[in-house]
Amino acid sequence: MYENHFGLTERPFSIAPDPRFLYMSPRHREALAHLLYGVGEGGGFVQLTGEVGTGKTTVCRCLLEQLPGGVDVALILNPRLTGLELIASLCDELGVDYPAGTTSTKVLIDALNQRLLQAHAEGRRTVMIIDEAQNLSAEALEQVRLLTNLETNREKLLQIILIGQPELRELLARDDLRQLSQRITARCHLVPIGRAETAAYIRHRLQVCGATEALFSERAVDLVHRLSGGVPRLINVLCDRAMLGAFVEGKRRVDPAVVRRAAREVLPEEGVGRSGRRWWLLAAAVGFVAFLIAWQYPRLNHLLPVADPGLALEEPRPAPAAASPAPEVAVNEPSPATTPVRATGDGAGDDAVAGVAALEGLPADESLQRLLEQASP
């Protein structure tokens, strides 16, 4: 819709995992190198993890485009399978023939093993990639481990790449899965990108679509990075909506105001508007408490107990001399109890202090509402 307005050939911020738009940050290059290493070496597992939207699937697609010749790939996108279903899916991806409707794991494994041996004899490698691997059941994971037992005397017949969210690391750290974890030969974890990388990421995607000038101001890029947290998927969503907003408003460049409006439409409220309002309410509440204490201070001051100046200046009178000194006896007398002095007055000071104390621990917006109620006549 806005492509012609900005002189672009296509939308630059689609969330589809198109390898043409892959911005190779240092961490993404490292992840791709790990995957290519795993494919080239053969045997064992390669593990790639990262938060949602950090580019795992896009790196995987880039891997598929860069695979050398002589590599057969089975891509499993739906890992919520039983062990038997997982083996059947692997056979389907590799074009393995097996009896229709079979429910025998042995039949499937035998057919798969024959296919892998044939590929090995032809000098071909076979790779299984499981996306969203954190959703694998314990049964399926055990079956995946057993697949690595398919081997010749010199090397494994199947290379397995596990791609998933951070929960995958927690899953593989379980004691009952330690045998599988010990077979992982390479691990890589993707993290959100920094501010400089966010600017380069936006610039890269715009240039792929034919942009010849900066379509986002520097302040707009700062805001995009802060609101998205450096997560590429959120950067795409936010920038796409911001460019649409700039087009609707007839602007040739995206500015911070456009980004803020776009963020309110596409990002979770908790991360955009509510956080700012919460801090504003907290600051307002603290300021109002300080004002209320200062306002009530003159009324509280006269309630404090003050010593009588006349008593302080009175000279002690000497005691009459005794006829003969009496023997001294040490007596430990209890100190006189101190009776708290309660000031008498209209009670406004006490009410103010008690009201302020009662606000501790309340949310900022509720605290402000309570303060306004106390201050009103």
With tokens 């892959």, the residue in question is 22
pLDDT tens sequence across 53-80? 998 988 888 898 888 889 999 999 988 9
> Is the per-residue pLDDT at 82 higher than 50?
yes
**Fold agreement (26-190, 194-267):** no
DSSP 129: E
> Is the per-residue pLDDT at 260 higher than 90?
yes
Fold (topology level) of 194-267:
Helicase, Ruva Protein; domain 3 (1.10.8)
> Is the per-residue pLDDT at 238 higher than 60?
yes
What is the percent of the chain with per-residue pLDDT over 70, rounded to a whole number? 71
> Is the per-residue pLDDT at 308 higher than 80?
no
SS3 75: strand
> Is the per-residue pLDDT at 282 higher than 60?
no
Question: Listing from the earlier edge strand, what are the strands of the sheet with 71-76?
Answer: 71-76, 125-130, 159-164, 45-50, 184-190
Q: What residues form DSSP beta bridges with 46?
A: 161, 186
Other CB atoms within 10 Å distance of the CB of residue 27: 19
**26-190 falls under which CATH superfamily?**
P-loop containing nucleotide triphosphate hydrolases (3.40.50.300)
Q: What is the pLDDT of residue 234?
A: 95
Mean pLDDT of the 1-6 span: 91
Q: What is the pLDDT of residue 374?
A: 58
Mean pLDDT of the 19-44 span: 83
Q: What span, in angstroms and rounded, lies between the C-alpha atoms of 215 and 129?
A: 38
Other CB atoms within 10 Å distance of the CB of residue 205: 23
Q: What is the pLDDT of residue 235?
A: 97
Q: What is the pLDDT of residue 181?
A: 87
Angle between helices 218-228 and 256-266 (to 10 degrees): 20
> Is the per-residue pLDDT at 271 higher than 50?
no
pLDDT tier for residue 322 given thresholds of 50, 70 and 90: very low
Across 104-118, 278-292, 325-339, least confident range = 325-339
Domain ranges of the chain: 26-190, 194-267, 279-304+345-377
Q: What is the pLDDT of residue 229?
A: 94
Other CB atoms within 10 Å distance of the CB of residue 300: 16
Q: What is the pLDDT of residue 152?
A: 87
By the 10 Å C-beta count (0-12 exposed, 13-18 middle, 19+ buried), 57 is classed as middle
> Is the per-residue pLDDT at 41 higher than 80?
no
Q: Work out the mean pLDDT of the chain and round it to a whole number.
A: 80
Query: Whose CA is closest to 205, among 65, 59, 13, 17?
Result: 13
> Is the per-residue pLDDT at 248 higher than 60?
yes
More reliable by pLDDT, 183 or 307: 183
Q: At a CB cut-off of 8 Å and minimum separation 6, what does 183 contact?
A: 44, 45, 145, 148
Q: What is the pLDDT of residue 286?
A: 60
SS3 323: coil
Q: What is the pLDDT of residue 22?
A: 78
Other CB atoms within 10 Å distance of the CB of residue 25: 23
Element holding 72 (H helix, E strand) = strand 71-76
Q: Record the tokens describing residue 77, joined without a space.
A: 């996108």
SS3 184: strand
Other CB atoms within 10 Å distance of the CB of residue 40: 12
Q: What span, in angstroms and rounded, lies between the C-alpha atoms of 285 and 283?
A: 5
pLDDT tens sequence across 174-205? 888 888 888 888 899 999 999 999 999 999 99
Across 95-104, 252-261, 264-273, least confident range = 264-273
pLDDT tens sequence across 101-144? 888 999 999 999 999 999 999 999 999 999 999 999 988 998 99
